A and B are shown apart, each in its own frame.
Chain A
Amino acid sequence: MPLLDVQDLNIRFTGYGRTAHVLRDVSFSVGRGERVALIGETGSGKSITAKAILGTLPNNASTRGGIRYDGLDVMAMAPRERDRLKGTAFSIIMQDPLSSFNPVFRIGRHLDDILYYADRRQGRVSGAQDRKARILEVLRRVQLSDPERVYGAWPFELSGGMRQRVLIALALLHHPAILIADEPGTALDVTTQDEILRLINRLVAEEGLSLLMITHNLGVVRQTADTVLVMQHGRIVERGPLSQVFEAPEEAYTKSLMEAVPPLYGPRVTDQPVSTQAPIITMTGVDKVYGSGSMLRRGAGHRAVTDVGLTVREGEIFGLAGESGSGKTTVARMLMGLLEPTSGTIEADRGGPRRLTQIVYQNPGTSLNPKRTAAQTLAVPLAHVGLKGAQARARMTELMSLVKLPESFLGKYPHELSGGQKQRVAIARALAAEPRVLILDEPTSALDVSVQKTVIDLLLQLREDLGLTYVIISHDLSLMRNFCSRLAIMRQGEIIEDGTPAEIFAAPRHPYTRALIAAIPVLTDAEEALKPEITDAERHRFLVTSDTDTNEEGHDHVSTGH
């Protein structure tokens, strides 16, 4: 008998006078110690499924179907009885470590509250000392080496990775049988995410837990699942063992998902031609120190960029890769002339009164004004380059066809467009100002994988047709591998390695580059085998940055890749 058995689950949401059928006949089971992954894009219903299991659906949802836990019919239980299952039967690891804590309470308080009320639900009386001892024990299990300090810390004092570990600890407090992980670590850097996935895997293996992993990242699935369920539009469209689904997907949708993931190694990798044209922007010995403006505090500022030199040639796709806080955004803003370097020079071949650069932002949800239609948004840069009235209108039509959107979308507001469509409007706006260099700031990271691919293809097409130069900033090295003609890797404000992607991926020189590449979740064992080797010492030096993430890290590297 499976531990968790979901039969013909149907969920409808009612609101605004109509009903949306968001989950259709979803059936699956999770056995004891089994690791199941639910894969799907935005709106596929994967998070709703988790909420249905936990019993945390909003009030306007109506549920039909059966959920059985260890033979018990969960749906038929009284609310109070069902509440008792939370934490002991199922536990969820929350998605966003940065916003899941109340900033005015210490970490210990968050954990203690959960434990106190859970104990009460189970009719168990527990003393404060007893609870604290149990909490410290759990903190140790998630490899926080100084649990006492973490217990007394404020949320802001912990790094993202540590907070994610505390969230895992929260889920483990009551020895659940099934761990539900909703996109764990997606908000974190790739190297931290890698550590978190290793930890989850280890916990599942050591404590005999079952895992329901909810994710859109296929690389994560390969590391953390035995059985895979692919969801689309509220249905499970494909299911099977990991190896079967990944090696021989049957559904067209699964295939398209797999193809949309940019490969790191192997025959599917694309090499972009290297440009030999004249340099368009050159940076030499650039430093940027924030907060050193005032005379009194000179030198006391935060050093964001140190001695960066780079050359962007006409017609190339220059990639700046790095994790958060590496200084890549600061460099990009200096390239655009939005920030002045503290020292060093930036030479740009301006050749005209117009802006040399335009930018496409990461999140089209905030880069488009919600109160302005696509046409109104495009009108601004068009007016700036001197197009008005009928001319502007004609150019708008042209721009829309360039970004492959129907002309009728000109009258739409951002909320009427999907994420990918919004990003296309944002690209059209950037193109309308007729820049020679386009800065792409994580242009696809807010989008679903399949949409990412179409946007990247569009950008490549546009570069070919219009002869543009791109500078792309991203943390996504697998994207950069295929999209860039030249790549620079940044760490703590310095460029530590640069070259063509082919060179860097074939033989990364800097250990940090090796660590970064090694942390990227990939789709096949063949790619996994081609990743650079990295020693434990190097991992320590470059990945584990927080002072408490030490001791036990060394011996858990065996848990991935099986």
Chain B
Amino acid sequence: MSMTDDRLTEDLAEGRPADTAPLSAGYMTWYRFSRNPAAVIGALIVISTILCAIFAPLIAPYPDHIGTVVDFRSRHLPPDAEHWMGTDKAGRDIFSRTVFGFRVSLLLVVGVLGISVPVGSLLGMTAGYFGGWTERLITGFTDVMLAIPPLVMALAIGNVLEPTLVNAMIAVTLLWWTWHARLIYRVTSQIMAEDYVEAARLAGASHWHILLREILPNCVSVISVKTTLDAAFVILFGATLSFLGFGVRPPTPDLGSMVADGRQFLPEMWWEVLAPGFAIFYATLGFNLLGDGLRDMFDVEA
């Protein structure tokens, strides 16, 4: 697929036949994306997830059920017109709690990736650009950090400090940057071989200019693909942590802890696990599809 694309791009870019002007790269990129159904579906899922999180109070039929509401008369109700996905052991509307659950998941994504992506990318670029001792130090440290299992790290930090969302986020962030550092280090090393980096240096550009203006823009596509795919992992990881009890404090709704709560009542009250479980699946699938779509669109490895 991509080979024929290149062929055609080349043909069109060389101005042949004379009546067709070259297509802009942006248009061709968008064309590749829009012709990929999986990518478009992924994008729609991700957008719907984000909208759910932002407008949760407007979407949820029982916004107050995210608090300490207890209504024993309506506990363990199966799905019906009033409670679309049933109620839990405290009689709270599961659909409302699931909608709010997206907030915690996405907050975790933004928190973890918001810190680890810039840090990792910057370290990777620095290592690839300066080489020598800087490179050895950064790649060595990255390799050491990569050897620590993230779940163990998160559990350890949760035990030493407090098992809260913020601490879980810190634990994940402490390890997550390594993947970005590695990836961007590799990409930067490749870019360093391009003549334009040397040309910029000969033209008198500073290190900062070369790193941020010459190299970084060429990493953006790789970073965005990797970040999108990572978002899915972070959601899963966050759900795992709160399933194990190292996440959000009750009664704040969180997809992982909702699954953990509902698990006690399986298989009779299957809806209590189904809704949050499906929500995790939905968000993860969305980010994965979008990430794969972006990868095809930018034609990069990440």
Whether B151 sits at the interface, judged by CB under 8 Å, is no
User: A380 touching B7 by the CB < 8 A rule?
Assistant: no
For chain A, residues 1 to 35, give those with C-beta under 8 angstroms from any C-beta of chain B: 13, 15-18, 20-22, 24
Shortest B23–chain A CB gap in Å is 6
Using a CB-CB cutoff of 8 Å, which residues 1-59 of chain B contact chain A?
3-5, 7-8, 10-18, 20, 22-25, 27-28, 31
CA distance A502 to B195 in the complex (A): 34
**Is B137 an interface position by the 8 A CB rule?**
no
Identify the closest chain A residue to B27 (Cβ).
A16
CB of A116 within 8 A of chain B?
no
Q: Is B159 an interface residue (CB 8 A)?
A: no
Which residues of chain A are near B205, meaning CB under 8 Å? 380, 384
Answer whether residue A370 sits at the interface, using C-beta atoms and an 8 A cutoff: yes
CB distance from A389 to the nearest CB of B (A): 17
Determine if A225 is an interface residue (Cβ-Cβ < 8 Å): no
- Flag if A359 contacts B202 (CB, 8 Å): yes
Q: Is the CB of B25 within 8 A of A380?
A: no
Contact of A416 with B by CB under 8 A = yes
Tell me whether chain B's interface is mostly helix, strand or loop, or mixed. helix
Interface stretch (choices A361-369, A398-406, A484-492): A361-369
B203→A433 contact, CB < 8 A: yes
Which residues of chain A come closer than 8 Å to B16, judged between CB atoms? 20, 22, 43-45, 233-234
Chain A residue at smallest Cβ distance from B216? A371
Closest to A48 in B: B11
Contact check: which of A15, A367, A372, A384 meets B195 at CB < 8 Å? A367
Interface membership of B194, Cβ < 8 A:
yes
Is A418 in contact with chain B by the CB < 8 A criterion? Answer: yes
| B contact residues around A385 at 8 Å (CB) | 204
Residue from A336, A413, A429 in contact with B203 in the complex, judged by beta carbons closer than 8 Å: A429
Which one of B20, B25, B199 lies within 8 Å of A359 (CB-CB)?
A: B199
Residue A381 CB within 8 A of the other chain? yes
In the complex, how many residues of chain A place their beta carbon closer than 8 angstroms to a beta carbon of chain B? Answer: 46
- Which residue of the partner chain B has the closest CB to A43? B14
A13 and B16 alpha carbons, distance in the complex (Å) = 11
Q: Does A59 lie at the interface of the complex (its beta carbon under 8 Å from any beta carbon of B)?
A: yes
Tell me, yes or no, whether B209 is within 8 Å of chain A by CB.
yes
Are A233's CB and B196's CB within 8 A?
no
* Binary per-residue interface labels of chain A (376-402) against chain B in the complex, 1 for a CB within 8 Å, 0 otherwise: 100011011100000000000000000
Inter-chain contact B203/A381, CB cutoff 8 Å: yes
B25 to A, closest residue via Cβ: A415
* Alpha-carbon separation in the docked complex, A13 to B17 (Å): 11
Residues B17 and A233 in contact, CB atoms below 8 Å apart: yes
B118 at the interface (CB under 8 A from A): no
* Residues in B neighbouring A366, C-beta threshold 8 A: 194-196
Residue of A with least CB distance to B221: A371
Question: Is there contact, CB below 8 Å, between B14 and A361?
Answer: no
Verify if A266 is at the interface (C-beta below 8 Å from B): no
A369 with B214, Cβ < 8 A, contacts A60-B8, A355-B202, A429-B203 known: yes
Q: Does B200 contact A (CB under 8 A)?
A: yes
Interface residue from B17, B199, B200 paired with A21 (Cβ < 8 Å) = B17
Q: Which of B5, B20, B209 contacts A380 (CB 8 A)?
A: B209
User: With A371-B217, A418-B14, A418-B15 in contact, is A18–B20 under 8 Å at CB?
Assistant: yes
Bound-state Cα–Cα, A20 to B11, Å: 8
| Residues 46-69 (chain A) with a chain B CB within 8 angstroms | 58-60
Bound form: Cα–Cα A366–B14 in Å: 17
CA distance A102 to B187 in the complex (A): 24
B25 with A372: CB separation less than 8 A: no
Whether a CB of chain B sits under 8 angstroms from the CB of A535 is no
* Chain B residues with CB under 8 A of A432: 203
A433: chain B residues at CB < 8 Å are 202-204
The digit string for A208-237, where 1 denotes a CB below 8 A from any CB of B, is 000000000000000000000000011000
Compute how far the CA of A361 lies from the CA of B18 in the bound complex, rounded to whole angstroms: 29
Complex: how many Å from CA A286 to CA B89? 85
Q: Is there an interface contact between B4 and A15, defined as CB atoms closer than 8 Å?
A: yes
Which of chain B's residues have a CB closer than 8 A to the CB of A22?
11, 16-17
20 contacts between A and B (CB under 8 A): A15-B8, A16-B12, A20-B11, A20-B17, A20-B20, A22-B11, A22-B17, A58-B4, A58-B7, A60-B4, A233-B18, A234-B17, A363-B195, A366-B194, A369-B196, A369-B217, A372-B213, A384-B203, A418-B14, A429-B203
4 additional contacts, CB 8 Å, given A20-B12, A43-B15?
A: A16-B27, A58-B7, A361-B195, A415-B25
Question: Which 7 interchain pairs have the tightest Cβ spacing?
Answer: A384-B204, A43-B14, A58-B4, A371-B217, A381-B203, A367-B195, A43-B16
The residues of A with any CB-CB pair to B shorter than 8 Å are 13, 15-18, 20-22, 24, 42-45, 58-60, 233-234, 336, 338, 355, 358-359, 361, 363, 366-372, 376, 380-381, 383-385, 413, 415-416, 418, 426, 429, 432-433
Instruction: Show the binding face of B for A, using Cβ within 8 Å.
Output: 3-5, 7-8, 10-18, 20, 22-25, 27-28, 31, 194-196, 198-200, 202-205, 209, 213-214, 217-218, 220
